[in-house]
């Protein structure tokens, strides 16, 4: 299994997965995601899946446990991979998260990166400590 994690903005993570996901591979991702959830309230995730052959039972259990514990902790989830895999993974993910989920092909990875970094004005105002009434968000 090959897994790589990189920053995707201050509140985002990109998780690249190849092969079979093991519990050990998932541990660092979980730690980093929880740190961002604690700091920002939510995390944006970009999951890039190539040559994915599934999870070990322990890793699948960890993944579901994380999703259930942080149901509202994921704001945006971009799934990048092959089209059939995207839809299968996305459908599975939607059952365990309130996140806005988007699917992208491998060729659209830069668009996925831009999408998870996009922050609505009210989010920026909140981070700056400004009370931004929602009624104004729709008129801008």
The tens digit of pLDDT for each residue in 45-80 reads 998 888 777 778 888 888 888 888 888 888 898 888
User: What is residue 90's predicted lDDT score, i.e. its pLDDT?
Assistant: 56
Per cent of the chain over pLDDT 70 is 72
In terms of residues, how long is the chain?
140
Number of structural domains found in the chain:
1
Return the CATH number at 68. 3.30.750
Using the predicted structure, report yes or no on whether residue 137 has a pLDDT greater than 50. Answer: no
Structural domain including 35 reads: 2-137
Sheet of strand 43-55, all strands in order from the earlier edge strand to the far edge: 2-7, 12-21, 43-55, 74-81, 100-105
* Separation of alpha carbons 61 and 138, rounded Å: 39
User: What is residue 86's predicted lDDT score, i.e. its pLDDT?
Assistant: 52
């Amino acid at each position: 299994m090959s897994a790589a994690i990189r920053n995707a903005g201050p509140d985002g993570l990109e998780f690249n997965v190849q092969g079979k996901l093991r519990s050990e591979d998932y541990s660092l991702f979980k730690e980093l995601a929880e740190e961002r959830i604690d700091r920002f309230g939510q995390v944006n995730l970009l999951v890039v899946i190539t040559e994915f052959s599934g999870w070990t039972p322990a890793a699948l259990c960890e993944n579901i446990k994380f999703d259930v514990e942080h149901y509202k902790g994921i704001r945006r989830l971009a799934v990048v991979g092959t089209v059939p895999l995207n839809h299968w993974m996305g459908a599975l993910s939607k059952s365990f998260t309130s996140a806005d989920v988007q699917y992208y092909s491998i060729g659209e990875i830069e668009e996925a990166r831009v999408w998870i970094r996009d922050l609505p004005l009210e989010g920026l105002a909140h981070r700056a400590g400004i009370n931004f009434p929602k009624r104004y968000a729709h008129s801008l």
